[in-house]
Amino acid sequence: MLDTAIVGGGLCGLALAAGLQAQGREFTLFEARPRLGGRVLSVASEKAGMRVDLGPTWYWPDTQPGMTRLVADLGLVSFPQHDSGTVLRLHDHDRKAAPSENESVHAGARRVEGGMLSVIEAIAKKIPEERLRLEQALTTIFDRGDHVELHFRQGDSLLVVQARRVVLAVPPRVVEEQIRFEPSLDDNLIEVMRETYTWMAGEAKAVIAYDRPLWREAGNSGNAYVTHEQAVLGEIFDACDATGTRAALGGFLALPPSLRDSFKAGLPMLMGNQIGQLFGPELEHGEQHYQDWAAEAYTCARRDLIPPDDHPHYGNPYLRQAIWDGKLFFGGSETASYAGGYMEGALDSARRLVREIGRFAPVVSPQSGDKTTASNADSVALFGQWVAGRQAELLEAYRKQLNRLLASADKEIVTQRAMVATMEQVFSEALLRLEDLSFDMGDVAVERGRSALTPEILKTFDGFIQFLIDSVIEYNRTSCALSNFPGEDKPSKDYLQAILRDIAAAWKEFCLSVNAFFIAKTPVDATA
């Protein structure tokens, strides 16, 4: 019987597989597509002589520590998104675009040489080939008491797999729409799955390659926004390589899925015309690459065809609960407690799943390769030093989150969202820091499911949240940026109480994650 079945070969599923492989655990990963990567898709451009991204393109080191570390650990090379030059805004299809200068669009974003698929390929190399199964679509999951039974569609045949547990690293809406559960899942959980928008599922993306970046030569950044009613590409950006010699422009389609389908035959001409209107007629006829994610059955559910009114919010705790007595887990970026929807969220979800699997299936003996050069007290002290250092940087982290929100279209309750995002970022970084430290778990007691090391780690955060609250209140009072947002510059008592409730929920989840981290490392015979 298989120990763990991972369903979904996107970033989350692969990162989870690599984590289980590093622990020496048994698993097999099943992917419905004939390729790995999920929404990560990079394709070769003959004209540009490089791969271009038709899925995720960027990560942000300031707020995404997991991606930053992963790129470095994999030995990949990153480079900053090109933003220098004039930004163009086209509000009327009969007029020229209006230029604006000194405008930072991508807020410190970085890209990866070779495209984001380089990340997927590098992780996949860490996993034995025989543990990766492609073109196997899960249709049904049965709870068989002490194990689960999985039915996969493999071409015209049926594959039946028995496993002690299964992880669904697939967007929740796709799971709800395409996979049958016996017995049925809880109605509340099903409703949450239906309400969880699949990030970028209803979108389409194009990248157009050229011999030279003529827009740069003309002083343009490549960034452009088209907002009139006839817009085809709504947002355009520079997609050149790090040197700027391999030339390309990228863009997100402004047309909804139904119109994209209706205009499918004419889209290449329409996209070329709009690029020519913005940057010059000589750029009308580039080499076009196009991906409509709404046409991808394993990405876009029917409910995703109707875009959300506002930026979707992720992290519903229902999607992070173990189901069927620890035999069924949900993963993927949409389930993340931090950075949901982004690649960072996929990594956050994968790390949680590694901890959760370890909680339900503790190691029989201490893991080989664990470092024991430092005592547990030394490791706790090192962690405490890290927390103290992070507290000193807390206000700056809040300011970055706040500025990001103020630059977005959704400017509601920005103080609350920025504070919660700051704490969630810190907790995500803290769990990464724990993984760097060595702990000798042989003599660490576990009573009633709680590791003796858990309260020692949590104690290092004494006063941390209060420090953030005090710093934010003082900063907001003197912030010119918030002076035009009544209630944000001087949060009311009720507003602060709402913020505290959200932070308390994040703190509770962090406490459980810390404990799960230690339980996963504790030998079975040490628990009681």
CATH of domain 42-58+73-111+202-295: 3.90.660.10
Please, where in the chain does CATH 3.50.50.60 lie? 1-40+116-196+297-361
Nearest-CA neighbor of 519 among 449, 421, 439, 422? 449
Q: Report CA dihedral (54, 260, 192, 176) to the nearest 10 degrees.
A: -80
pLDDT given for residue 373 in this prediction: 55
Quickly tell me which residue has 């490791």 as its tokens.
379
Task: Reply yes or no on whether the pLDDT at 365 is more than 60.
Answer: no
Q: In terms of CATH architecture, what is 1-40+116-196+297-361?
A: 3-Layer(bba) Sandwich (3.50)
Task: Reply yes or no on whether the pLDDT at 254 is more than 90.
Answer: yes
Tell me which of 362 and 160 has the higher pLDDT: 160
Average pLDDT over residues 435-446: 90
Tell me which of 42 and 375 has the higher pLDDT: 42
Task: Reply yes or no on whether the pLDDT at 289 is more than 70.
Answer: yes
Quick one: what percent of the chain has pLDDT higher than 70? 97
What pLDDT digit, counting tens, does each position of 165-186 carry? 999 999 999 999 999 999 999 9
Tell me which of 470 and 152 has the higher pLDDT: 152
CA distance 110 to 196: 27
Quick one: what percent of the chain has pLDDT higher than 90? 80
Stretch among 102-106, 366-370, 495-499 having the lowest mean pLDDT: 366-370
What pLDDT digit, counting tens, does each position of 329-339 carry? 999 999 998 99
Query: Is residue 369 left, alpha or beta, with left meaning phi > 0 and alpha meaning psi from -120 to 50?
Result: left
Nearest-CA neighbor of 415 among 479, 462, 340? 479
What pLDDT digit, counting tens, does each position of 124-135 carry? 999 999 999 999
Task: Reply yes or no on whether the pLDDT at 12 is more than 70.
Answer: yes
Longest dimension (CA), the chain: 75
User: Are the CB atoms for 79 and 113 separated by under 8 Å?
Assistant: yes
| DSSP per-residue codes, 40-95 | --EEEETTTTEEEESS---B-TTT-HHHHHHHHHTT--EEEPP--SEEEEE--TTS
Tell me which of 96 and 210 has the higher pLDDT: 210
Task: Reply yes or no on whether the pLDDT at 49 is more than 90.
Answer: yes
pLDDT given for residue 94 in this prediction: 86
Average pLDDT over residues 284-295: 97
On average, the pLDDT of the chain sits at 93
Which residues make Cβ contacts (< 8 Å) with residue 93, sequence separation at least 6?
A: 228, 229, 230, 231
Residue 220 amino acid letter: N
Average pLDDT over residues 491-514: 93
Average pLDDT over residues 366-375: 54
CA–CA distance from 59 to each of 6, 33, 252, 339, 341 (Å)? 25, 25, 17, 11, 12
Average pLDDT over residues 495-523: 93
What pLDDT digit, counting tens, does each position of 315-331 carry? 898 999 999 999 999 99
Residue 528: band (very low, low, confident or very high) from pLDDT cuts 50, 70, 90:
very low
Task: Reply yes or no on whether the pLDDT at 369 is more than 80.
Answer: no
pTM of the model: 0.89
Task: Reply yes or no on whether the pLDDT at 362 is more than 80.
Answer: no
CA distance 212 to 70: 32
Average pLDDT over residues 258-283: 94
Phi then psi for residue 348, to 5 deg, are -60, -45
Structure tokens belonging to residue 59: 């990560």
Sign of CA dihedral 67, 73, 74, 77: positive
